[in-house]
A and B are shown apart, each in its own frame.
Chain A
Amino acid sequence: DQQVKQNSPSLSVQEGRISILNCDYTNSMFDYFLWYKKYPAEGPTFLISISSIKDKNEDGRFTVFLNKSAKHLSLHIVPSQPGDSAVYFCAASARGGADGLTFGKGTHLIIQP
């Protein structure tokens, strides 16, 4: 049973527009959420995180929103750039990140020129 779900395997967005990647979770014990970005033949790299005590965290072009009641989070990238084309993984953990992460299956974001 998947505890972290990314229901869109792929997403295509035009350069300059907003990219919105979605993630749902089922485990109410999760209190720390992260987004990782992965290029082919490389390991995932940390992008942005959010604690359950917040509902928004912003870092440059990247913003993560958390809706605890809906058990849903989203990553917004604006404006989207060609270098943003990658697979994005949503991850969650309990105890503020002190435990290992549970990952979703990823969403392949394709930025079209």
Chain B
Amino acid sequence: GAGVSQSPSNKVTEKGKDVELRCDPISGHTALYWYRQSLGQGLEFLIYFQGNSAPDKSGLPSDRFSAERTGGSVSTLTIQRTQQEDSAVYLCASSLVQLGSPLHFGNGTRLTVT
């Protein structure tokens, strides 16, 4: 079946603009995660959605970052008033919620803030 799909694959934006990144998880996966990878860094956890529960937003770096997950499926990560330090690859992953179920990642969105 289809994997995790992210769009756009690349996004260049000017400092101060808002951006929206989209993630389509694998059908049937109830858990959805957003991570980001800055240059030379590991994967940094941002936010976690599980079913209808309140999301775990503990990884969001500032209040300029927000995410939604509509209907338990598609998710959108929004960054308002982008800054140059927001430049990174933003990765979405989904998984079944069961012990030992690995995360399946999309190919990411490479965001460049100029």
Give the B-binding residues of A (Cβ under 8 A): 4, 6, 32, 34, 36, 41-46, 49, 51, 89, 91, 95-106
Min Cβ gap B49→A in Å is 10
Set of chain B residues within 8 Å of A89, measured between Cβ atoms: 42-43
Q: Is the CB of A43 within 8 A of B101?
A: no
Q: Is the CB of A44 within 8 A of B48?
A: no
Set of chain A residues within 8 Å of B35, measured between Cβ atoms: 103
Interface residues of B in 71-100 (CB under 8 A from A): 91, 93, 97, 99-100
Q: Is the CB of B56 within 8 A of A34?
A: no
Min Cβ gap B56→A in Å is 7
Q: B4 contacts the other chain (Cβ, under 8 Å)?
A: yes
Residue among A51, A89, A100, A102 with max Cβ neighbours from chain B (10 Å)? A100
B25-51 Cβ-contact flags toward A at 8 Å (1 or 0) = 000000001010000111111001000
Across the A-B interface, the 5 shortest Cβ-Cβ residue pairs: A43-B105, A96-B99, A46-B102, A105-B42, A103-B43
Set of chain B residues within 8 Å of A100, measured between Cβ atoms: 33, 45, 48, 56, 59
Q: Is the CB of B91 within 8 A of A44?
A: yes
16 additional contacts (CB under 8 A) given A44-B91, A101-B103: A6-B42, A32-B99, A41-B107, A42-B107, A42-B108, A43-B4, A43-B105, A44-B43, A46-B103, A89-B43, A97-B100, A98-B99, A100-B33, A103-B43, A105-B40, A105-B41
Other-chain contact of A43, B40, B97, B108 (Cβ < 8 Å): B108
Min Cβ gap B3→A in Å is 8
Set of chain B residues within 8 Å of A34, measured between Cβ atoms: 102
Q: Is the CB of A49 within 8 A of B100?
A: yes
CB-nearest residue of chain B relative to A101?
B103
Q: Is the CB of B42 within 8 A of A106?
A: yes
Q: B11 contacts the other chain (Cβ, under 8 Å)?
A: no
CB-nearest residue of chain A relative to B3?
A43
